[in-house]
Structure 1
Amino acid sequence: MTKLAPIAGALVLLSASPALAWEYGPFAAEFSVEIENDTVVDSSDPAIEFSDTYATIEAAITMALGASSSLNLALTFEPIIDATGDRVFEDHGLYAEEFFFAHDFGAGEIILGKFNPAFGIAWDEAPGIFGADFAEDYQLTEQIGGAVLIPFAIGASENVVSVALFNADRSVLSKSLGRRRGPGSLLDGGVGNTSGPDSITITMAGELGATTYSAGVQNLARGAGDTHDQRGAVVGATHTYDLGRPVELLAEMAYFTDFAGTSTAAKYGSVGLAAPFGPVTVSGVYASRKLDGARIDHLATVTGEMELATNVFASLGYRYGREGADKTHTIGTVIAYEF
């Protein structure tokens, strides 16, 4: 899934997606719509051989408060719970993924409220329908707190350091309309689910020519029932090669100690490649996931995407996953309206 960016200058603190844009006075908004079907066509576990058709609609709305400040709201409409059988446009809910105040004070920027702290890029940048599936394990979303972003230049390289303090959102903003969820509770446990902003991420990101990079560390405070804080580090990069056609390469590695508040270490790796062939952009991703005491999980995907009409894109993808003892083969299709 793609995510919209209320702060265009935040440089991977929040991810950006092509979308239908709209402006009126102090208000600006971006919208995107995706209709996706995922069908597990074969699995060593027959219970998960089913089809799921669903929508993802995202809106990022910004209201300017003078020249340097703004209020930012990111709304998401999508399934609130995972499918357990064949499903067609069921279990959808609307919720506020982000709602924060931002102020640019010249030498940097601060944000306060509910936001997505920066950590890694593969969860957003890995190409294809299924390319981000493993990296989404360590994506940070829906946190309450604040962040400071300090841009700086090194030669021709534009960079930004972000420091965020936060805890999991348990406010009224964690509720949803339609299929209901939340609010959460401290008793739910989970790293980062604490009574105050006890978790931190520090990320440095930037770009130099055709290369972008991101490197970060985190400490997610233990929640109820956890035995340890989760500590982690991630480094990733993308590069575009001009080989007569633009060929985009992505690579990222992440390592965690005491993953999910346990005494287990976890290692993730993702590599991706995307290149156009005529009207079709073909991409592939290989990713791995290793938790101490468990076998390595493998993910391999391939996707073809083409523009059917102005701002209308269609994708067809294949996913092979070996996760634990299960092997699955999945076919996915997406119709997306973007700008």
Structure 2
Amino acid sequence: MKRLVPASVALLSAASTAAMAQEGGSSRFSAEFAIEIANDYTFDSDDPAAELSDTYVTIGAGLSFALAESTSINAGLVFEPVLDPADDRFFEDHGLYVEELFLSHDFGGAEVVLGKFNPAFGAAWDLAPGIYGADFAEDYEITEKIGVGINIPITAHGGEHTLSFAMFNADRSLLSNSLGRERGQTNLAAGGVSNTSSPESYSVTLSGNFGATGYNFGVQHQEGGQGDVADQTGVVLGLTHSFDTGSVPWEVLAEIAWFDKFDGTRNSARYYTLGAAVPVGRITLSGTYSVRDIDTAPTDRLATVTAEMDLADGLSGALAYRWGREDGVDSNTIGTLLVYEF
């Protein structure tokens, strides 16, 4: 299930708040938290073993400490299940891990980050609407890498834009493991793209907006690790737009991602995501349709519908239906989600 408030979003907000606080002479420390209680109930599947109920909690924390006016150290922590469910599960298999831990310095014309962070590439893994809208796009989200990143803000043609560049390799430090239920520490022998001995992989992304239209365009190259037959190369293009139709504003999203030698194999892969959201009174209704097409594998398809509502200040709830065809297996899932942000 997609986290509605990713740790990286909370982290950027906390870092910005800490920097402003330092400029104002107040506390150097800032934090943002999101607590989510969720249930995924798969009630009908071609695979009877997939019919189960999974109840769990996800806690994301973005922490930032301002060392100076333009310098901060930032951490993104996540507490969530670190294993997939094998049977009905009720608040089990949770682990705490460090998703990001980096030093940031703003030079005015550019921000430099150094440490463990999530390089920019694509946006549907974050912006696709609904509880399950990002399930396929999360496959190509780049997370938990060690390296250096540069973010350059640009103001042009009436819009705000950011050019991001990152060089990285997979995290194999103690931070790749988790406390509580252990997910295991990454090592070179595990293979996988970007799991190399030095920062040999990179991503370049340009994102921004022109009025009500947002966009992102990115390229990546991730070096193959041990056991991989090739290096992975990818391209992504995404658009969002808000339609002001009077009393009912619509928001739409479309993103396409293409990969050569996907995941270090000889396969090409293509991802397509379409989503839309519209408010109806206090409720926001949204739907997403996604396709995952990988050579030598059946084409996967995903359709979701979600209703979300603000219940109180910082508290929201959501109810969703998910239909998925994955590896030739059709499954139907009902999901509920309660989120508190502070």
Q: TM-score, normalised by structure 2?
A: 0.93
Between 229-238 and 147-156, the greater mean CA deviation after superposition: 147-156
Letter in 2 for 1:233: V
Hey, what does 1:287 align to over in structure 2? 290
Q: Is the 8 A contact 1:157 1:207 kept in 2?
A: yes
Following the alignment from structure 1 to structure 2, what is the Cα–Cα distance between the partners of residues 138 and 37? 24
Q: TM-score, normalised by structure 1?
A: 0.94
Hey, what does 1:264 align to over in structure 2? 267
Q: 2:143 is matched with which residue: 122, 135, 141?
A: 141
Distance 1:226 1:198, change over 3 A: same
Q: Are positions 1:99 and 2:71 aligned together?
A: no
Letter in 2 for 1:259: F
Following the alignment from structure 1 to structure 2, what is the Cα–Cα distance between the partners of residues 62 and 134? 30
Hey, what does 1:115 align to over in structure 2? 117
Letter in 2 for 1:138: Y
Give the CA deviation at 1:308. 2.0
Hey, what does 2:12 align to over in structure 1? 7
Q: Is the 8 A contact 1:126 1:132 kept in 2?
A: yes
Give the CA deviation at 1:232. 0.3
Hey, what does 2:331 align to over in structure 1? 328
Q: 2:301 is matched with which residue: 298, 302, 308?
A: 298
Give the CA deviation at 1:10. 10
Q: Secondary structure at the match of 1:123?
A: helix
Letter in 2 for 1:309: A
Between 235-244 and 267-276, the greater mean CA deviation after superposition: 235-244
Letter in 2 for 1:80: V
Q: Are positions 1:236 and 2:241 aligned together?
A: no
- Cα distance per residue 1:152-186 (max 9 Å; x no partner): 12221211111100011011111211111232110
Hey, what does 2:132 align to over in structure 1? 130
- Cα distance per residue 1:280-331 (max 9 Å; x no partner): 1000000001011233211000000112222211100000001122000000
Following the alignment from structure 2 to structure 1, what is the Cα–Cα distance between the partners of residues 14 and 219? 21
For structure 2, which runs of at least 5 residues remain unmatched after alignment? Answer: 17-24
Q: Is the 8 A contact 1:80 1:181 kept in 2?
A: yes
- Cα distance per residue 1:6-46 (max 9 Å; x no partner): 234999xxxxxxxxxxx971000000000000010100000
Give the CA deviation at 1:125. 0.3
Distance 1:314 1:204, change over 3 A: same
1:1-339 paired onto structure 2 within 5 Å: 1=3, 2-4=5-7, 5=9, 6-8=11-13, 25-243=27-245, 244-339=247-342
Hey, what does 1:16 align to over in structure 2? none
Q: Secondary structure at the match of 1:201?
A: strand
Q: Is the 8 A contact 2:15 2:65 kept in 1?
A: no
Q: Is the 8 A contact 1:251 1:271 kept in 2?
A: yes
Q: Is the 8 A contact 2:201 2:223 kept in 1?
A: yes
For structure 1, which runs of at least 5 residues remain unmatched after alignment? Answer: 12-22
Q: Secondary structure at the match of 1:7?
A: helix
Q: Is the 8 A contact 1:170 1:182 kept in 2?
A: no
Following the alignment from structure 1 to structure 2, what is the Cα–Cα distance between the partners of residues 65 and 169? 25
Identity %: 52
Give the CA deviation at 1:245. 2.3
Q: Is the 8 A contact 1:10 1:149 kept in 2?
A: no
CA RMSD in angstroms, aligned pairs only: 1.6
